[in-house]
Amino acid sequence: MRRNALMTLALLTWLTAPLAAQGGRRGGPAPVPGANPAYDGRYTFARIRYEMGMDAGFGGFRRGRDLPWSHDYPRGERNFTKIVAELTTVRARMNESVVIALNDPELFKYPVAYMAEPGYWRPNDLEVAGLSAYLRKGGFIIFDDFRGEHWFNLEAQMRRALPELRFIEIDGTHPIFDAFYRIPQPQALASYGEYAPTFWAIFEDNDPKKRMIALANRDNDISEYWEWSGEGYFPVDLTNDAYKLGINYIVYALSR
Amino acid sequence: MDALLTFLLKYPSRVWERGDVVWSPVLPAWTIVLAGIAALGVTVWSYSRVTGLSRPHRLVLGALRLGALLIVVACLARPTLVVASAVTQRNVLAVLLDDSRSMALRDDGTTSRAALAERAFADSTALVRALADRFALRFYRFAADVRPASSAAGSRTLGTRTDLAGALDGARQELAGTPLAGLIVVTDGADNAGRELDPAVLALKARRIPVYTVGAGAERFARDIAIERVQLPARPLAGANLLADVTLRLRGVAGERVTLTAEADGRVVATETVTLPARVETMRARLRLAELAPGTHRITVRTPALDGETVTENNEAHGIVQVRSGPDRILYVEGEPRPELGFVRRAIATDSALQLVALLRSADQKFLRLGVRDSLELAGGFPTSREELFAYRGLIIGSIEAAFFSPDQLRMLAEFVSQRGGGLMALGGRAAFAEGGYRGTPVAEVLPIALDRAPRAEEAAPIELRVRPTGAGLALAALSLGANDSASMRKWDSLPALTVVNALGSLRPGATALLTGRRTGESVDQPILSTQRFGRGTATVFAPQDSWLWRMHADMAVEDLTHVTLWRQLARSLTEESPERVEVTVVPSRVAPGEPVELRVRVADAQYLDVNDAAVTATITTPGGRVTDVPLEWALSENGVYSGRFVAEEAGVYSIGAEARRGRDTTRGPAAALLADEQGADVEQAELRAPLLRRIALETGGRYYPLAQAERLADDVIFTESGVTVREALDLWDMPIVFLVLALLLGGEWALRRSRGLA
């Protein structure tokens, strides 16, 4: 196990080294995404871009130098998709990802989406309708990188999109934690010291035996590990666990 | 005209048709040659001495004289017509009378065909008396089988099936030991037994037994609508989109509107009003039947009788549908986690009659099994034995390269289609088809598309195509997306474009394109969904990599379940014709009570190889619930096929199952259904089929007669080469035409000579 972890670290350090020097950090300048690549059928990391509503009215999040939706962009997804392509048979697009709004029709070509910092998410009605249609048709969304009372905003916004559905807490026995890696203790990976991470999901018909359509890494930030995996800031085992969770999410979402 | 020819030629044309002209000279041949030369010499000598004639006149007169002399010389050679004819009262002549339901039709509104036939062949008629003077007559009645009768009288016209080939074979075999001079077949030609006629005709031809066909009925009705055929899916799965394909034959009813009704066990399950087109003799209509519960259902399709319709018995047709409860199991092997897998799984999961088992290779040598029955299923990855693979009825291959499979597994995939008879569907993807290295593999041989183009590069942009059904596709229940064809086509046209990443070759000969795709701004269509029979099964190619866009695309409404419907239907079509290890077939599937039925059971082992050493028993459950076992015997002519017969005495629906025992292994097959009743059948094609009867007569050396001219048979049937015959030599020198020509030649010469002052 230890040997595997070291090999994985060595692999991702090598793979992600070129990214170490690019991208923004919290408090740094807001990233400016380029044009999205054209759809080609391969798995493409889709990051949801959103407006922050009133938060922006007070000078923006951290005075406009940081946009919460972009946390860990682009290093997080670039590192992650390289690992996905390397370790699994998912035909993942590397070095490219899309940044997209919930009311963008192109979103429907990417059935797995990722949203960072949903605590700051204040969608307008069009975005709510877009997300609702996306999930009801078969899309899957991952919420990550938030803690504390931000959960209540996420719950409230999701109630707008899917009024009849609710978040249900899941543990390591759920098939998503066995989709690729066997992860019996997913909560072992923690990002915020004072918060114990938990996993919450929305299912079709509120039935945990049915398809999962949204997953929230509550009080956790797995993309933080992806972002810095090439820098050695975090212990190898924790970084590995973050990648494992992400890979399981993707394999699950693409096969169920 | 016939009488004049017979007078001039001395014998009727039928004698000339059957006879051979030979020469029987009264003098040695050399003397006749000398006589001919002498005639030529005399003519030349006599006219060369005549003076005062122009050269043309001399030539004409010489030719007339020479012609007359040569006719005399030819008569010395004694031309003779040799014909074989039956020796009086030494031969048997069989008269076969059609006794099926169609013979009860009254073409003129008053007298049935059977009654007319009885009248024409009654013992008291001149025809039968003349025949009886020369032959020992044997009468037979035929419908589904052939039975002896004492005379033409007493037809029942109850047979729901006319087996013309069986009747010819049956009569020939029954009279095999007798000097059979010929067969007279009195019928309307409405053969609906489905047997090939050619072998029966060839067998008669080989024995030189002429068949004289006598056609009863009208060749064309003035005003009639007939339900000629109703095609139903044989054994659909419960919940299937059931289409009844109805073929209507139209006579003089253009422009009228009729309502077709389909009933299942007496309950109306579909109605459709159609306008009958002009200048069309047959048309097809499709009825979408309401969902039927698992079990056997009797389907009746009917249309109301029109005013003044010639025949109303053919306004309804019957059939049987056996709805299976399933579930049918399909294996989907996918090489990469991708949305196509997830969305197809979700679509098929909504269908309780289907079970999709997915084997997803998520990493090298790592598999995710979804929908497995137990922990052992596919535990070792893709099946390595035929027994394991052939347990599935359908197989879907996703984006997974050929190198993933061992050479034997690739052969197994091909044999899944050719030998097991399963349905294989290959999906598009970056590791599929030529891009996946399938060229030259056994799988490539099975596919309906040739992999003859260079593979596209991994990074090549996908090709966007708008998809539409072809004519063949639109007629297919699996591709039906609306309540009728036009609604279905509108739906297809509204679907968003899909993408293809493979270089697809041309359609193989014999394959059918069901969906085609076209790039925006282009006019060339390429096959997107195509299929072909291969061996016992079917192989299909579905080229897009992302049919899931028909669910997810922004243009598709949340409530739109086109993708779900389509994939359910496609998956069902994949397994619909996959056989079981023990398959029961009843031939025909519909009879009249009292008629015999042939049972055929195909038995295969777990590898779907034919088994010839099993003990096979058919279990027949009658409509009354009585159970009878019928032991079947291996039909030596066909591997794995066991056959037997039974007579369906009761009216109603029979259930016929089968069990094959081989050592300790006992395998049961699903029951087949048989409908025994007296309604409807045999009148679908009620018009007299004279061309068919003419062909039978022509090929066997007989002749065709309309029933009204049957009396001409009496003179014709004596000339036969079958049975006890005598060869007669008939002189031709004394034909009136000989003397007439001679007189004309000599008279012409005399008249010309006289006009020139020579006589």
Nearest CA in chain B to A94: B459
Q: How confident is the model at residue B593 (pLDDT cuts 50, 70, 90)?
A: confident
Give me the total of CB pairs closer than 8 Å, taking one residue from chain A and one from chain B.
95
Give the pLDDT mean for B543-549.
98
Yes or no, beta carbons of A108 and B554 under 8 Å apart: yes
Q: How confident is the model at residue B278 (pLDDT cuts 50, 70, 90)?
A: confident
A interface residues, B as partner, C-beta within 8 Å: 38-43, 87-91, 105-109, 111, 132-134, 136-139, 179-180, 211, 250-251, 253-256
| Residues of B whose CB is below 8 A from A38 | 461
CA distance B552 to B340: 11
Q: How confident is the model at residue B160 (pLDDT cuts 50, 70, 90)?
A: low
Q: How close A244 comes to chain B (CA, Å)?
A: 13
Yes or no, beta carbons of B338 and A91 under 8 Å apart: yes
At A104, which CATH number? 3.40.50.12140
> CA distances (Å), B128 to each of B92, B137, B151, B209, B709, in order?
13, 9, 10, 20, 13
Tokens, residue B548: 């899931």
For the stretch B706-716, pLDDT in tens is: 999 988 888 88
Yes or no, beta carbons of B345 and A256 under 8 Å apart: yes
Nearest CA in chain B to A40: B462
Looking up tokens 């090709």 gives B463
Those of residues 498-537 in B touching chain A at CB distance below 8 A are 499, 501
Q: How confident is the model at residue B687 (pLDDT cuts 50, 70, 90)?
A: confident
Q: What range does the domain containing A244 cover?
A: 2-255
Q: How confident is the model at residue B497 (pLDDT cuts 50, 70, 90)?
A: very high
| Residues of B whose CB is below 8 A from A138 | 339, 342-343, 346, 548, 551-552
CA distance B88 to B728: 13
* Nearest by CB: B363 against A88, A134, A211: A88
Yes or no, beta carbons of A256 and B342 under 8 Å apart: yes
Domain count, chain A: 1
B357: left (phi over 0), alpha (psi -120 to 50) or beta: beta
Q: How close B361 comes to chain A (CA, Å)?
A: 7
* Torsions phi, psi for B88 (to 5 deg): -55, 130
- B336 at the A interface (CB within 8 A)? yes
| Residues of A whose CB is below 8 A from B545 | 41
Yes or no, beta carbons of B552 and A88 under 8 Å apart: no
For the stretch B720-733, pLDDT in tens is: 777 777 777 888 88
Among candidates B472, B552, B559, which has minimal Cα distance to B510?
A: B472
A18 pLDDT exceeds 50? no
∠ CA B620-B295-B624 to the nearest 5 degrees?
A: 40
A11 pLDDT exceeds 70? no
Residue of B332, B336, B547 best to disrupt the A interface, most CBs of A under 10 A = B336
CA distance A95 to A220: 25
Nearest CA in chain A to B338: A254
CA distance B535 to A38: 42
First to last CA, chain B: 37
Tokens, residue B148: 């002896």
For the stretch B598-629, pLDDT in tens is: 999 999 999 999 999 999 999 999 999 999 99
Yes or no, beta carbons of A256 and B368 under 8 Å apart: no
Are B554 and B439 in contact by the 8 Å Cβ rule? The answer is no
Tokens, residue A146: 């938030």
Among candidates B463, B348, B333, which has minimal Cα distance to B389?
A: B333
**What's the pLDDT score for residue B94?**
92
Yes or no, beta carbons of B362 and A106 under 8 Å apart: no
H-helix or E-strand spanning residue B650: none
Are B47 and B58 in contact by the 8 Å Cβ rule? The answer is yes
Q: Which residues contact A180 (CB under 8 A, 6 or more apart)?
A: A88, A244, A247, A248, A251, B362, B363, B366, B368
For the stretch B47-73, pLDDT in tens is: 887 777 788 888 888 899 889 888 888
Q: Which amino acid is at B577?
A: E
CA distance B5 to B14: 12
Beta pairing partners, B730: B81
| Residues of B whose CB is below 8 A from A127 | none
| Residues of B whose CB is below 8 A from A254 | 337-339, 341-342
Yes or no, beta carbons of B342 and A254 under 8 Å apart: yes
Q: Which amino acid is at B327?
A: P
- B393 at the A interface (CB within 8 A)? no
Q: What percent of chain B has pLDDT over 70?
A: 98
For the ranges A99-108, B221-230, B288-297, B588-597, which has the lowest average pLDDT? B588-597
Beta pairing partners, B212: B184
| Residues of A whose CB is below 8 A from B461 | 38, 40
**Residue of higher predicted confidence among B552 and B103:** B552
**What's the pLDDT score for residue B658?**
95
Yes or no, beta carbons of B339 and A111 under 8 Å apart: yes
- B548 at the A interface (CB within 8 A)? yes
Average pLDDT, whole number, for chain B?
90
Are B493 and B487 in contact by the 8 Å Cβ rule? The answer is no
For the stretch B87-100, pLDDT in tens is: 777 888 999 999 88
Q: How confident is the model at residue A218 (pLDDT cuts 50, 70, 90)?
A: very high
Nearest CA in chain A to B551: A137
Task: Give just the sign of the alpha carbon dihedral B213, B216, B222, B228.
Answer: negative
Looking at residue A35, what DSSP letter applies? P
Q: What is the DSSP annotation of A201-247?
A: EEEGGG-TTS-EEEEEEETB-HHHHHHTTTTT-S-HHHHHHHHHHHH
pTM: 0.74
A13 pLDDT exceeds 70? no
Q: How confident is the model at residue B339 (pLDDT cuts 50, 70, 90)?
A: very high
Tokens, residue B374: 């137990």
A21 pLDDT exceeds 50? no
HEC-encoded secondary structure of B265-302: CCEEEEEEEEECCCCCCEEEEEEEECCCCCEEEEEEEE
B264: left (phi over 0), alpha (psi -120 to 50) or beta: beta
Are B53 and B756 in contact by the 8 Å Cβ rule? The answer is yes
Domains recognised in chain B with CATH numbers: 2-85+728-755 (no CATH), 88-220+687-723 (3.40.50.410), 224-323 (2.60.40.150), 328-461+529-575 (3.40.50.880), 582-676 (2.60.40.10)
Highest mean pLDDT, choosing among A116-120, B199-203, B208-212, B237-241? A116-120
> CA distances (Å), A255 to each of A90, A92, B346, B360, B574, in order?
11, 15, 9, 8, 21
Looking up tokens 């004639």 gives B53
| Residues of A whose CB is below 8 A from B499 | 39-41
Q: How confident is the model at residue B238 (pLDDT cuts 50, 70, 90)?
A: confident
Q: How confident is the model at residue B76 (pLDDT cuts 50, 70, 90)?
A: confident
Q: How close A98 comes to chain B (CA, Å)?
A: 17
B161 pLDDT exceeds 90? no
Q: How confident is the model at residue A9 (pLDDT cuts 50, 70, 90)?
A: very low
For the stretch B15-47, pLDDT in tens is: 787 788 888 888 888 888 898 898 888 888 888
A155 pLDDT exceeds 80? yes
**Residue of higher predicted confidence among B109 and B531:** B531
B383 pLDDT exceeds 90? yes
Yes or no, beta carbons of B549 and A106 under 8 Å apart: no
Helix (H, G, I), strand (E, B) or coil at B757: coil
Q: How confident is the model at residue A2 (pLDDT cuts 50, 70, 90)?
A: very low
> CA distances (Å), A37 to each of A93, B61, B138, B311, B462, in order?
10, 104, 87, 69, 13
ipTM of the complex: 0.90
Residues composing chain B = 759
Q: How close B335 comes to chain A (CA, Å)?
A: 7
**Residue of higher predicted confidence among B280 and A53:** B280
| Residues of B whose CB is below 8 A from A111 | 339, 342, 548, 552
Beta pairing partners, B154: none
- B350 at the A interface (CB within 8 A)? no
H-helix or E-strand spanning residue B34: helix B29-49
**What's the pLDDT score for residue B652?**
87
**What's the pLDDT score for residue A5?**
45
CA distance B607 to B594: 39
Yes or no, beta carbons of B552 and A253 under 8 Å apart: no
Q: How close B501 comes to chain A (CA, Å)?
A: 9
Beta pairing partners, B223: none
Residue of B456, B551, B552 best to disrupt the A interface, most CBs of A under 10 A = B552
CA A31 distance to own-chain centroid: 17
CA distance A157 to A153: 6
H-helix or E-strand spanning residue A57: helix A54-57
* Nearest by CB: A88 against B339, B362, B556: B362
